[in-house]
Amino acid sequence: MKNPLLEETAFPIFSNVKPKHIVPALEQILSQNRIAIKKLLVQKKPFTWQNLMQPLEELDDRLHVMWAKIEHLHYVVDSKSLRNAYNTSLPKLYSYLIEIAQNVKLYKAIQSIAKNKVQYKKLDISQKKIITNILRDFKLAGIALKPKAKHRFAKLQKNLSQLSNKFSENVLDATQGWTHHVTDKNELKGIPNHAIKLARETAGQKNLNGWLFTLQQPSYLAVMIYADSPQLREKMYKAYVTRASDQGPNANKWDNSKAMNAILKHREELASLLDFDNYAEYSLVPKMAKFPKQVVAFLNKLARYTKHRAQQEYKELQQFAEQKFNVNNLQPWDIAYYSEQLKQHEFALSAEDLRPYFPEPRVLSGMFKLAERLFNITIKQVNNVDIWHHDVKVFDIYDQSKNLRSRFYLDLYARQNKQSGAWMKDYQTRRLLNNEVQIPVAFIICNFNRPLGRTPALFTHNDVITLFHEFGHSLQHMLTTVNYAGVSGINGIPWDVVELSSQFMENWCWQKPVLNLIARHYKTNKLLPKKLFDKMLAAKKFQSGLQMLRQLEFALFDFRLHLEFNPKKKNQIQNILNEVRQKNSVLPYVKYNKFQHSFTHVFSGGYAAGYYSYKWAEVLSSDMFEKFEEDGLFNKTTCELFLHSILEPGGSIDPMILFKRFRGRAPKIDALLKHYDIVKL
């Protein structure tokens, strides 16, 4: 059988890939890799970069490119047959990865290159960093364990991959498994027209009259922020915060409770096998932060700075709801609604006032023009490209010499069988192959409102910020100049620094010259009026304390969970979350809220004991952007310094060295606090 997953093409071909191709393709590549690695390890001559590391990189890259297609399709166009093939493949892949990570002969072979002072001295900084990282990762994969413990470690890793995937699938199924059918138009009061049209279109797709609301973000948020009906808001809220749990309208149907406990037990045992006191300690080894106490102190410090402001903001919200609406007992499903009412009252500004000024075509062209100006590149759309869905757009990036530098795929709209949220995934990594550069390729995925009829997709300003965030990740991946995959682009960057480039790009969404690029009314083509821009700036820090404290609550919950988890104790997940909320939250909660059951970042998304990374990296990104404000937003020297110091080196150089190279000093927390208008205590 001709298998499209085994065909080597410059760019991915999706249309020919069928679920039946997945398992055979994976098995063939894994078999070929195993044979090739055995041959590499029986060489008589001393191991070098050329005769060991380079061939290993080529084997890894072929596997990565093939699996990236499969994983990507699983996220964006899931189906029963695709899911079955993916789930069948996952243990095979992890068995191979663990087998390689625990291969003593391979470890000693790579170690011999590091110990050969003459050979090692000839390597460049990227090659040395790759070898350092690989030897570290061998140890983290249990290379030094005795056979019985090593076998147990491998089994835990394989089980974790399956548990995490099941967690993610349960969340997707639970999100898609609940809808609310509205037939009474009075129930729609307050909801914006675009959301009502979307609900009618969704109902029509199910051959229903009236309107159908879902738990996908565009539908859910429209109700929670704007619906006048507290009963409708409560119904949507309860369905959303009980997804994949033992509570709510679909209680126990896709319950993640057992999977969560199993994941934490597996992680705790993994860390214990390697003599770490807890999983948090284990997870920090490859990160910028080195000690659990350092992370906890950082988060508590921010929480201490933030809580007083958050309390004031919530008190203002309570007073407003009581005085203007005679509501004296705010419920969780009231917070977003009355916050929006307060924002409109104080600033005469609603997110819906801004939406007409952010049509998708204008936002994209403006974002690209900004990147072109900052980094001296050119971005062009590519047509007639093989894609996985007709909504997908494809773009190429060229350097100043008109050489193709990278490609990215943009999938912006929410739909059935697509994971919620927003993310960037690398498909292909920059590396040198036969003296030619393999260009990096990225997937950028969001879940925004789609176009309705002849009206283009209209984004909120928050949508625009999300898009800039993911584009920032992709720029880190695509603009690297490193020629070795292990530290090229986003590879090799410590997890608590990987959000730096994405959060850096968010800052541009508030700058008037950039808003002139991305914001024009979709009907009149008029620029965003100064009056609206001034309101935006005035409202920028609206409830910034509550926003910050919410993120810190998530980060502290995640980190404490992996720092304190004890498999012998019962109900720890909920107990730790309750303790974190009691100390840090100022908002009301209901007992049935099980947000942790859909916390994919931590239980299936790679952020275990790492959710703090968002704030850790934001300290760096805020400090860096302040230099642009000091030097002039488009100062050529500053732009070039950021490109050369931050984006191009990938993971080849320690991030603190790169930060100091750009900023001329160590990072300070001041710019972040200023960004949120929080007073330093």
Which is more confident, 404 or 434? 404
Which of 208, 273, 190 has its CA nearest to residue 199?
A: 208
Contact 225, 351 (CB under 8 A): yes
Q: Is the pLDDT of residue 594 over 90?
A: yes
Query: Is the pLDDT assigned to residue 680 strictly greater than 90?
Result: no
Alpha carbons 14 and 604: distance in angstroms, whole number: 25
Token readout for 178 is 């609940």
- How far apart are the C-alpha atoms of 47 and 67, rounded to whole Å? 29
Exposure string for 124-153, b = 16+ CB within 10 A, e = fewer: eebbbbbbebbeeebebbbbebeeeebebb
646 within some domain:
no
- Catalytic hit among 187, 470, 506, 553: 470
Pairing of strands 441-448, 436-438: unpaired
* Mean pLDDT calculated for residue range 271-282: 98
Of the residues 588, 607, 626, the one at which a domain ends: 607
Same domain, 332 and 449: no
Backbone angles phi and psi of 560, in degrees to 5: -65, -35
- Position 250 in a domain: no
We report the CATH number of the domain holding residue 45 as: 1.20.1050.40
Q: Given pLDDT bands bounded at 50, 70 and 90, which one contains residue 3?
A: very high
SS3 labels along 185-215? HHHHCCCCHHHHHHHHHHHHHCCCCCEEEEC
How far apart are alpha carbons 95 and 103 in whole angstroms?
12
Same domain? For 389 and 491 the reply is yes
Mean pLDDT computed over every residue of the chain:
96
Task: Give me the number of domains the chain comprises.
Answer: 4
Kindly state whether residues 198 and 220 are assigned to the same domain. yes
Residue 263 lies in a domain: no
Whether pLDDT at 51 is above 90: yes
Question: Which residue carries 């076998």 as its tokens?
Answer: 151
Paired tokens of 377: 């590149």
| Beta strand residue intervals within 210-263, DSSP E | 211-214
Check residue 588 and give its pLDDT: 95
- Smallest CA-to-CA distance from 606 within 506, 494, 530 is with 494
Beta bridge partners of 396: 380, 407
Asked if residue 367 and residue 341 are part of one domain, the reply reads: no
Query: In the block, which residue shows the tokens 């995490």?
Result: 164
**pTM given for the model:** 0.95
| Domain membership flag for residue 36 | yes
Can you give the CATH number for the domain in which 505 is found?
Answer: 1.10.1370.40
Residue 503, both tokens: 């959060």
Query: Are 605 and 485 in contact, with CB atoms under 8 Å apart?
Result: no
Asked whether residue 153 is domain-assigned, the answer is no
Q: Looking at the domain assignment, is residue 161 inside a domain?
A: no
pLDDT in tens, 315-337: 999 999 999 999 999 999 999 99
Tokens for 35?
């044979």
Mind listing the pLDDT tens digit for each residue in 175-232?
999 999 999 999 999 999 999 999 999 999 999 999 999 999 999 999 999 999 999 9
Distance (Å, whole) CA 472 – CA 470 = 5
Residues 59, 122: one domain? yes
Q: What is the secondary structure of 562-579 as a DSSP string?
A: HHH--TTSSSHHHHHHHH
Domain boundary among 140, 167, 199: 140
Beta bridge partners of 437: 432
* Torsional sign, CA 489, 490, 494, 499: positive
Residue 21 has pLDDT above 90, yes or no: yes
pLDDT at residue 44 greater than cutoff 90: no
Check whether residue 14 and residue 126 sit in a common domain.
yes
Per-residue pLDDT tens for 533-552?
A: 999 999 999 999 999 999 99
Contacts of 384 (CB under 8 A, 6+ apart): none
For residues 535 and 555, membership in a common domain is answered with no
For residue 455, give the DSSP letter.
Answer: B
What does the block give as tokens for 536?
């935006």
Point out the domain boundary residue: 562, 577, 607: 607
Question: Which residues have C-beta within 8 Å of that of residue 415, sequence separation ≥ 6?
Answer: 389, 391, 450
For the question of residue 352 being annotated catalytic, the response is no
Angle, alpha carbons 511-516-518 (nearest 5°): 90
3-state secondary structure (DSSP) of residue 428: strand
For residues 370 and 502, state if they share a domain: yes
Pairing of strands 404-413, 441-448: parallel
CA nearest 30: which of 71, 59, 1, 54?
59
DSSP type of residue 401: T
Q: Is residue 589 within 8 Å of 601, Cβ to Cβ?
A: no
Structure confidence by residue, pLDDT tens digits, 483-516: 999 999 999 999 999 999 999 999 999 999 999 9
The answer as to whether 61 is a domain residue is yes
Domain membership of residue 529 (yes or no) is yes
DSSP 472-505: HHHHHHHS----SGGGSTTTT--TTTTTHHHHHH
Instruction: Report d(CA 141, CA 152) in Å as an integer.
Output: 11
579 close to 586: Cβ distance less than 8 angstroms: no
- Check residue 198 and give its pLDDT: 95
Integer Cα distance of 75 and 258 in angstroms: 23
- Supply φ then ψ for residue 664, to 5 degrees: 80, 10
Co-location of 534 and 553 in the same domain? no
At 361 the pLDDT is 98
Which residues form the domain of 558? 275-348+544-607
Domain containing 559 — which CATH number?
1.10.1370.10
Among 37, 26, 44, 164, smallest CA distance to 95 is for 26
Distances (CA, A) of 577 to 52, 290, 333: 47, 24, 19
SS3 assignment for 107-159: HHHHHHHHHCHHHHHHCCHHHHHHHHHHHHHHHHCCCCCCHHHHHHHHHHHHH
The secondary structure of 538-606 as a DSSP string is HHTTTTHHHHHHHHHHHHHHHHHHHHH--TTSSSHHHHHHHHHHHHH--S---TT--GGGG-HHHHTSS
Residues 100, 106: contact at Cβ < 8 Å? yes
pLDDT of residue 360: 98
Give pLDDT tens digits for 601-640: 999 999 999 999 999 999 999 999 999 999 999 999 999 9
Is 374 within 8 Å of 557 (Cβ atoms)? no
The residues near 524 (Cβ < 8 Å, ≥ 6 apart) are none
Strand pairing partners for 527? 520
Average pLDDT over residues 246-273: 98
Q: 446 by DSSP, 3-state: which?
A: strand
Average pLDDT rounded to a whole number, residues 78-93: 97
- DSSP state at residue 357: G
- Euclidean distance between the first and the last CA atom of the chain, given in angstroms as a whole number: 67
| Predicted pLDDT of residue 681 | 61
Together in a domain, 55 and 69 = yes
229 shares a domain with 305? no
User: Is the Cβ–Cβ distance between 469 and 506 less than 8 Å?
Assistant: yes
Q: Are residues 51 and 82 in the same domain?
A: yes
Burial of 530 (0-12, 13-18, 19+ CB in 10 A): exposed
Would you state the structure tokens that stand for residue 442, as one six-digit string?
């990225």
Q: pLDDT band for 269, please (50, 70, 90 cuts).
A: very high
- Rounded percentage of the chain residues whose pLDDT exceeds 90: 97
Tens of pLDDT along 461-481? Answer: 999 999 999 999 999 999 999
